[in-house]
Amino acid sequence: MENHPNIHEFFKKIAEKLQGMAMEYTSDMGIISLRLPNGRSQNVRGFFKQKTDHWVLKLNSKVCSLDEYKNIDFKMITERNNKLNEAKAVIHQDYLEIAATILFSDSYFDHICSLVLEIAKAADLLEEEITGKDEN
């Protein structure tokens, strides 16, 4: 198996391509902060996870806290999942998030950049529809 990929170096490359900003969240997790075409911003977090014989890149972006927004239309969110390519709406630790897991390879760089953008746009759209705010 290849060496553990460096999330911070990889996110710097993605941020540069997408004209965003990469930040360290923890030693193993990075954040890319993106300014979206609609003028809003959205953060996408990511980390690498080792599987048996390969690495995967796990990406996610928070939409809102389920404790704070109790009247979420989950039917609409499930239907929205059908319109997304690889990203999906998920619930993680009492937060609604947009997330994806992808097999990691440097050769997939452009694809991963597109996926980061898909996650950010989908999370931002839901955040705006549900909360009316621009916080994540």
Give per-residue pLDDT as tens, 92-108.
999 999 999 998 876 68
Check the CA dihedral 120-125-130-134 and report its sign.
positive
Q: Is the pLDDT of residue 2 over 80?
A: no
Average pLDDT over residues 25-35: 96
- CATH fold of the domain at 7-131: Yope Regulator; Chain: A, (3.30.1460)
Over the chain, what is the mean pLDDT? 93
Q: What is the pTM of this model?
A: 0.91
Tell me the C-alpha to C-alpha distance, in Å, between residue 111 and each of 18, 105, 135: 12, 10, 26
Selected residue with higher pLDDT from 115 and 136: 115
Percent of the chain with pLDDT over 70: 97
Q: Is the pLDDT of residue 1 over 60?
A: no
Collapse the DSSP code of 103 into the 3-class scheme (helix H, G, I; strand E, B; otherwise coil) and give the result: strand
pLDDT for position 107: 62
Domain regions of the chain by residue span: 7-131
Lowest mean pLDDT among 37-41, 81-85, 107-111: 107-111
Check the CA dihedral 108-110-113-114 and report its sign.
negative
Collapse the DSSP code of 133 into the 3-class scheme (helix H, G, I; strand E, B; otherwise coil) and give the result: coil
Percent of the chain with pLDDT over 90: 83
DSSP codes joined into one string, 60-72: EEEEEETTT----
Q: Are 31 and 22 in contact (CB under 8 A)?
A: yes
